[in-house]
Amino acid sequence: MQKVHEPDFIRPDDDLRFFTELPKPELHLHLDGSLDPTLALELARTRKVDAPRDWAGMRAALVAPERCVDQADLLRAFDLPIALLQDEEALERLADHVVRAKAAENVRYMELRWGPHLHTAKGLTQSQVIAAVARGARSAAAEVGVQVRLIVTALRSHSVDENRALAVAAVAAKDLGVVAFDLAGREAAFPDPLTFKDAFDVARSGGLAITLHAGEWGGAAQVRRALEVAPTRIAHGAVAVDDAALCEELIARGVVLDLCPSSNVQAAIVPGYGDFPILALHRRGVRVTLNTDDLIVSDLTLSEEYLRVRRRLGATVTELLALARTGYEVAFLKEAERRPLLAAFDAWVEERLAQ
């Protein structure tokens, strides 16, 4: 991609349109945090789940507060979606919805993640959950022309055996688009990712990429700890900025941080949006990507998150284009799959610069 000298091809009032039209990748997005209120209302009615009965009430129940006490508090926002998503049709429809919603703002490549074991409370197997999400994602992706891959997420609060079985199911679903294995959940209560070393080993030896959530509690030490499972990418991990040696290690190992500023503000990991260190990390040379985490829990589109980084953190358009390009560069894709996405992105940028 040619170097963009600080462009004047975009006026301030064009910013949101520019970022909406930008062909973006999104690498850190949770399925169950992206349940739209209309589908939630229908699921609550037809599945007889105790939930608000009107759209505004449902929306208020699905969007987490702008400021939670901590990560565990933010995670309570997932209880209702998970209660509503306990059958194959519900999971398939949600996956379809999320892919279409992202395509509508020109996300061209997405990695959709979720914890299949959370959806087994009413009898589905982990494999059935994975297959249902894959069906919904795949059919929508084919229609709207988006590339979708799936990341299977283990939960820190689940047992060693449950997460090991999940890794086996994830490996068996590679043909369905599963590309990586992840760990998420309450970090303060379950701080040690090596508890699940066995599950990570099964996933890795089965050909899946390894990522995990880290640094949502416990500061830079937790990001350092995450490196013990040798991930390719870390979900969050922004607090690494506080530890210069750790940043050097991330750079040396080429480990990427998939950052979500608004979500981290909600989880009280940073004092405010203006303190989020995405630009400090990027300028220091740590590879970072920009993502939303959740469509409804944070009530946020990816285009809006780009706009926030521009307006509230003062990122240049050049820097934001670099973050988007990094997303394609580090996506869990084969090189032959990555090349056309990068070429399309570069062509789009070049065309805009020529205008």
| Nearest distance from C-beta of residue 142 to Zn ion, angstroms | 26
Active site residue 216: yes
Name the residue among 311, 303, 305 with its Cα closest to residue 263.
305
Nearer to Zn ion, 41 or 64 (CB): 64
Query: For residues 197 and 211, what is the distance between their CA atoms, to the nearest angstrom?
Result: 12
Minimum CB separation of residue 19 from Zn ion in Å reads: 21
**3-state class percentages of the chain: helix first, strand second, coil last, to nearest 5:** 55, 15, 30
The token pair at 124 is: 């589905």
Q: Which residues 165-194 are close enough to bind Zn ion by CB under 5 A?
A: none
The interface with Zn ion within residues 287-346 (CB under 5 A) comprises 293
DSSP 266-287: HTTSSSSGGG-THHHHHHHT--
Nearest Cα residue to 163 out of 152, 172, 147, 174: 152
Q: Which range, of 92-100, 227-235, 242-250, 313-321, touches Zn ion by CB under 5 A?
A: 227-235
Based on CB atoms, which residue is closest to Zn ion, 34 or 147? 34
| Minimum separation from the CB atom of position 176 to Zn ion (A) | 21
Q: Binding segment for Zn ion among 65-73, 100-108, 232-240, 334-342 (CB under 5 A)?
A: 232-240
Cα–Cα dist 348/351, whole Å: 5
Extract the tokens encoding 17.
């349109």
Measured from the CB atom, is 26 or 293 closer to Zn ion? Answer: 293
Provide the minimum distance between the beta carbon of 88 and Zn ion in the complex, in angstroms, as a whole number: 24
Rounded least distance, CB 189 to Zn ion, Å: 17
CB 179 within 8 A of CB 111: yes
Site string for Zn ion, 247-286 (x = CB under 5 A): ----------------------------------------
235 vs 239, beta carbon nearer Zn ion: 235
CB closer to Zn ion out of 273 and 348: 273
Q: Are strands 24-30 and 147-155 parallel, antiparallel or unpaired?
A: unpaired
Binding positions for Zn ion, 235-254, rule CB under 5 A: 235
- 156 contact partners, CB below 8 Å, separation of at least 6: 183, 184, 185, 186, 187, 189, 190, 193, 195, 196
Q: How many residues bind Zn ion (CB under 5 A)?
A: 2
Amino acid of residue 310: R
| Catalytic member of 216, 249, 337, 351 | 216
Residues at the contact surface with Zn ion, assessed by CB under 5 A: 235, 293
Catalytic residue ranges: 216
